[in-house]
């Protein structure tokens, strides 16, 4: 996976395996609607932008209406300037952008992010076209890694919004999982079901190593608190579940939120551009 996302969830601490600068295997970020995928992608973009290995390429179908500008990383204008936004409006434009990536004169990115893959797949492409898109994403990240050379490698994170499995949604999910060995699932945190905006992030690394989990809580003011979630929490009393010895939390504030919901997700608006140039 892109280790920038792991560092976000680890509150900026050492990433563990692969934390020596390697991007790790490509990662598929899965979650139900309004599960903070965009927020975590943007936090990962800022994390990677601060590493100094190269710019970050953020692909999304619509410009972001607002950004989490109350975080220490987001207040760093140097980081924001290293995040390059591009807005392919259809799957054909996305395929063309990726196919022509080798022609771009800009420095190669250290992280490639794609938000809202489900919107592109809503155009009902065939399985062959979906497989081609997945392979092209991997090939583009590999090309950027080759260009970076000794300066590092290019990570790849793709966010895919899923519906309830009972609805028979996401028919392409099984196909995508063949190409993305690492997966991070966002789902409601059953241990904190009485709290607003509580999620559990479960990371399957796609390589030897245990699954890692975090509890992600969005407070009414828009802050995001991330706390390690320990497997042994299920053995604790309800008032102690989710908290373990030595656990740490990271709070990220967000400006201009529409209400006490998740930052960024669900508030995308075409016509408001937030392009950043290197």
Give the C-alpha separation, 51 to 78, whole Å.
11
CB atoms near residue 138 (< 10 Å)? 17
pTM: 0.78
Query: Is pLDDT at 17 greater than 80 in this prediction?
Result: no
Cβ–Cβ under 8 Å, residues 170 and 18 = no
Indicate the pairing of strand 111-114 with strand 56-59: parallel
Q: Phi then psi for 252, rounded to 5 degrees?
A: -115, 125
Residue length of the chain: 278
pLDDT digits (tens, 9 = 90+) for 32-50: 887 788 888 988 898 888 8
SS3 content of the chain, % helix, strand, coil (to 5): 30, 20, 50
Could you give the percent of the chain with pLDDT greater than 90? 30
């Amino acid at each position: 996976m892109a280790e920038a996302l792991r560092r976000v969830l680890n509150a900026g601490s050492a990433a563990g395996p692969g934390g020596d600068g390697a991007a790790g295997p490509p990662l598929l970020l899965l979650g139900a609607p309004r599960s903070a995928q965009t927020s975590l992608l943007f936090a990962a973009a800022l994390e990677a932008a601060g590493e100094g290995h190269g710019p970050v390429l953020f692909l999304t179908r619509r410009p972001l209406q607002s950004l989490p500008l109350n975080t220490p990383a987001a207040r760093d204008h140097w980081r924001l300037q290293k995040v390059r936004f591009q807005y392919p409006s259809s799957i054909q434009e996305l395929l063309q952008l990726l196919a022509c990536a080798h022609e771009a004169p800009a420095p190669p990115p250290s992280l490639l992010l794609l938000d809202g893959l489900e919107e592109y797949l809503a155009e009902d492409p065939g399985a062959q076209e979906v497989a081609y898109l997945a392979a092209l994403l991997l090939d583009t990240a590999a090309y950027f890694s080759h260009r970076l050379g000794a300066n590092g490698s290019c990570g790849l994170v793709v966010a895919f919004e899923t519906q309830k499995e009972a609805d028979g949604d996401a028919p392409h999910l099984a196909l995508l999982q063949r190409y993305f060995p690492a997966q991070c699932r966002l789902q409601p945190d059953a241990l904190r079901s009485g709290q607003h905006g509580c999620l559990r992030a479960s990371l399957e690394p796609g390589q030897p190593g245990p699954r890692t989990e975090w509890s992600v809580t969005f407070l009414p003011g828009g802050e995001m608190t991330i706390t390690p979630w320990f497997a042994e929490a299920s053995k604790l009393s309800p008032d102690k579940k989710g908290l373990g010895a030595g656990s740490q939390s990271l709070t990220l504030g967000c400006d201009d939120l529409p209400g006490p919901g998740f930052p960024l997700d669900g508030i995308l608006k075409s016509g408001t551009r937030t392009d950043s140039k290197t």
